[in-house]
Amino acid sequence: MTLTGLDSDNPILLYLTGFQPHRTGPVEVILQTYSTHSHHLTEANQSPRCASRFLDTLRSQLPKMAEFANSKNYGVPIYGAGWVPPSALRSAVEPSADDEKDNGDKSSSSAPGNYVVLAGGGGEGNSGIRNALIVAQFDFDSNVLSDEPVARLGTGGDLPYRMAVHPGGEGLICSLPKSCRWFDWDFQTDENRSLGLRSSEKVLEPLEDVGQQLALTFNNEGSLLAVGGEDGKLRVFKWPSMENILDQANAHASVKDLDFSPDGKFLASVGSGPCRIWDVSKSTSVASLTKENDEIFGYCRFAPINDENQVLYITTMRDQGGSISKWSTTTWRRIKSKRVVRDPICAFNISPNGKLLAIGTIEGDVLIVSSNNFQVQNVVKKAHLGLVTTLKFSEDSRALLSASLDSRVRVTIIKEEKKSGLSLWIVILVLLIAIAVYYAASNGIFHWS
């Protein structure tokens, strides 16, 4: 075994440490951990000198190593993930009556920060890995995920497979092997005012004993809930009354993905066969988007901006790799398609501002793509050691949350694409030339002919 360098996806690095960088002092922790385990490197390379070179390389790569702070292993394979909406956090920062009394006009409470919620586990049986919902905290300023979950709620032998967070902050719904269950946010009123989850007394009767549901989504207003099952059945309910307004037994052989248009009028469903478009108010299918040649549809997302140029994005797979196609929501015809990645796409989403698309691959890579021209703006190679299971942008489109079966959760800060300054320099150059010519002409250095 030869160690020629250090990279965040180096399997030797991951094997030797098993550490989680702390929010403070990650450099010291990394150095201490690697110094402690240097004997493993010596044994692996049969050379103390090689181990010493390895530690020297480590010290030179510390800035890169600090990136581990935005990627944490929480001990369970993750299938669903989301950001806790700001509306759910407001009550956590509202001062209590006692706070106001003790502090006058000033409250002692502080903003709780940003939270992510995760769903996963080892499934049924005696895998030794608990099924649970997990809440973790993320600090945008330092780009750090909490070392440990701030809350964990076990779900017994039921694996929480898919999850939809209510946009109004009411709570979240999870699909379990046989039913769907609702969970409420639980605010701990200690001095840190931390966020957690609790099982709700609310029972979703229409979703009891319905089998495994593979897709869950709310519309933007949180007034509609769409659910798609492994059995191919599609259901749409009014929320929170759970009045059924669409019930299609054979929407697909199996429903894989669902998404509402920004105004909630249309619902796109993807499964085997074509992508189907449903008019929710009329409870009918209004379009069927056909595949080309050997295409396989994967995931669908409407552009979040509701205007006359509204479009729908669908991921497709062919032998040549993974592609994105854009469709008009007026004619329901394909506008364009482009291959963006060589590997199969296994996760997909769009940013709330509509500018970016996110793609996860079975190789663990995460790509950020322009929704306008499908140009790849950023690639995080081996963001995960296994296939990416879910992707979610933060509400302000500043960050992308990704998770995987490798139990690792990562937050990638979105860096704005730098615009070329060439045009500005050209303008400055033209102005300087004009000034020079004017000065020369004014001083009789040369005359215009």
Q: What is the 3-state secondary structure (H, E, C) of 96-125?
A: CHHHHHHHCCCCCCCCCCEEEEEEECCCCC
Query: How many CA atoms lie less than 13 Å away from 294 in the CB half-sphere?
Result: 5
Using alpha carbons, list the distances in angstroms from residue 361 to 13, 78, 347, 349, 376: 23, 15, 7, 13, 14
What is the phi/psi pair of residue 408, to 5°? -100, 140
Low-confidence ranges of the chain (pLDDT < 70): 1-67, 91-112, 126, 189-193, 417-424, 444-449
Instruction: Please tell me the distance from the alpha carbon of residue 59 to that of residue 442, in angstroms, as a whole number.
Output: 61
Place of tokens 């207003």: 221
Q: What was the pLDDT predicted at 369? A: 98
Q: What was the pLDDT predicted at 58? A: 45
Q: What was the pLDDT predicted at 418? A: 54
Place of tokens 């993905």: 257
Q: What was the pLDDT predicted at 25? A: 34
Q: What was the pLDDT predicted at 438? A: 72
In 200-290, beta strands by DSSP E: 213-218, 224-229, 234-238, 244-248, 255-260, 266-271, 275-279, 284-289
Q: What was the pLDDT predicted at 441? A: 73
Instruction: Please tell me the distance from the alpha carbon of residue 438 to that of residue 355, in angstroms, as a whole number.
Output: 45
Q: What is the dihedral of CA 137, 139, 143, 146, to 10 degrees?
A: -30
Mean pLDDT of all residues in the chain?
82
Tokens (6 digits) for 411: 């937050």
Using alpha carbons, list the distances in angstroms from residue 421 to 7, 370, 424, 425, 427: 32, 20, 5, 6, 10
Instruction: Please tell me the distance from the alpha carbon of residue 101 to that of residue 55, in angstroms, as a whole number.
Output: 56
The residues facing 154 across adjacent strands are 132
Q: What was the pLDDT predicted at 112? A: 52
Q: What is the CA radius of gyration of the chain?
A: 26
- Peptide linkage before 240 cis (omega within 30 of 0): yes
Q: What was the pLDDT predicted at 307? A: 75
Q: What was the pLDDT predicted at 164? A: 98
What is the pTM (predicted TM-score) of this model? 0.77
CA 138 to chain centre: 13
In 61-166, beta strands by DSSP E: 71-73, 78-83, 114-120, 132-139, 144-145, 151-154, 162-165
> How confident is the model over 408-423, as pLDDT tens digits?
999 999 987 655 455 5
Instruction: Please tell me the distance from the alpha carbon of residue 177 to that of residue 154, in angstroms, as a whole number.
Output: 15
> CA angle 226-164-334, nearest 5°?
55
Q: What was the pLDDT predicted at 264? A: 96
Using alpha carbons, list the distances in angstroms from residue 286 to 249, 411, 430: 17, 38, 56
Whether the CB-CB separation of 195 and 135 falls below 8 Å is answered with yes
